[in-house]
Structure 1
Amino acid sequence: MSTHSDWITVGALADGFAPESFILPNLADLTGRSLTLHFANGWQIAHRFEAERLSWQAADGHSQGSAAYRATSVRPGIYLVDFLKQENGQDWSISLVLDLTSASFTAVIGRMPDAQTTHEGLYHRALAGKLLTGVEVEFFHGSLDKPWQEGACPHAPTRELVGLRNLYRYSPTEVYEHIYLNENFYTWQCLKGVEAGLCDTDRCHYYKISDELYLFVWREKIVPTLGLVMIDMANHRSDGKIFGYAGGGFDELSNFPVASYCSVINRTEHACDD
């Protein structure tokens, strides 16, 4: 039976996932390319991709820099680019779904809660009307290399995963299941691995990127964690990352890749569903 001592840090989770993990290769497809992201909110940020680093420059000067990045693809023409950015003393998780097939993108920008927020009790947060998780995330959409026009990005929130119970094998030793409950919550449990026996229900977000291709993002509340994966239901593959504090303090971050072979266990259809 699990106890509170079974919960581990994101750094320890990364160590557990690493051996023989099913991660996808870091692609060089974007090397030498420049893409300008035209956000629906008016931002215009140019990105230049080199072999191991990318650089970015906002047209209005609000953001610029460079970072090591990872680029992967579970579907031809659609790339997941992930990196960490530090600006004004704050670390940010940046994940870009670059959809070359539709010349559009979705950007996911997240950050960890600070020490004070993390130490708030769940009961206090609930009574104060706050989300139970302190992990923050924002979603932005836009077009690639052309000015934004309404409707230019086909990526949209979806209910298509709701009701599914999926199995994810991240390595020979790490196996999880997800139950997608509704538009805002899902339940996970570790069937095998370093978190075996642990489970929880957490905040989540679903976006349909293309037919049977989804962006799934979750925010855990007990150990502050931001998870993000692209799920290709047609090819039974997922790829993404997990981001959080490496240890028990707040001075080191862990941002590690995860990928799985996935399959549907079953689907629940509720009588009240339209």
Structure 2
Amino acid sequence: MATRSLLGTSDGGRSWHQLGEPDKPIRSVHFVSPTQGWGIAGGTDPQSVHGWLVPKEGATLVTTRDGGVTWSPLDGPSNPQTVCFSDSVQGWVGTQRDGVYRYQNIAQGQSWSLALQRPDQPAADLGATTLIQCAGSQALWVLFLGGGAAMSHSPYIAYATANGSSWRAVLNEPMTMHQAGVPPGPDSYPPSFSAVDPGDAVFVGDGPATNVAQCVIASAGGASLRRTGAIQNASETFAAAFTSVTTGWVLTRNGGGDYVIDATTDGGYHWSEQLAVPPTSAG
């Protein structure tokens, strides 16, 4: 995804070419093969949220079978914000108000069903968001953001499922969510996260009051949490990408306003700066 267009590559990123788009601009995409993918198109007031461009409301679900050259609308839940598919017959959509819907294309036909209800009911104007990442044939990691903030706390709660039906509350912001028995997350603001596999995910960030991005590794489907290290001088994170529970990268912003890519190879115990770009250069 580029700022104003959809780009594709067929040589590992050495070269890029512009792809097609539906009538409304695509906000995010998820592909299960070089040709088959799904996207969120249109919608009002799109905002960048931890690696996703998330519309507030009015978006639609679209799909492609030719690698993004052409797109067609797909019936689904109203006001979708994020989408991912495990394969051509099973997928998920995160919505602003309801929560997470599951799509299944089985012998009896295609269907959508509400798989995970939001535990809160935030006001529409607070910017509630549902972020999702597929992690296997039936596995999904979810991060609900409540929107709004007060006293350096902003509500969020993460869930995980390995089978698509039973869910575990993994971590949350305890001062605002009030979910008994759910462990606290990395810090007081919603973190960036990266699903590694059905059992593991990494959460990093966000602490405006502490000015660090704390790393928490969730294992065993969220049953076990391990706090490792922290990225110093990083009160805000924008995205995280981990290829394993030890190796990953996080896009942050330091106190001077520079956009920084930090990397770890030991599960977040230690971090090294890979690239820093001044805000005037990043745009």
TM-score by length of 1: 0.30
Between 1 and 2, higher relative CO (CA 8 Å, sep ≥ 6) is seen in: 1
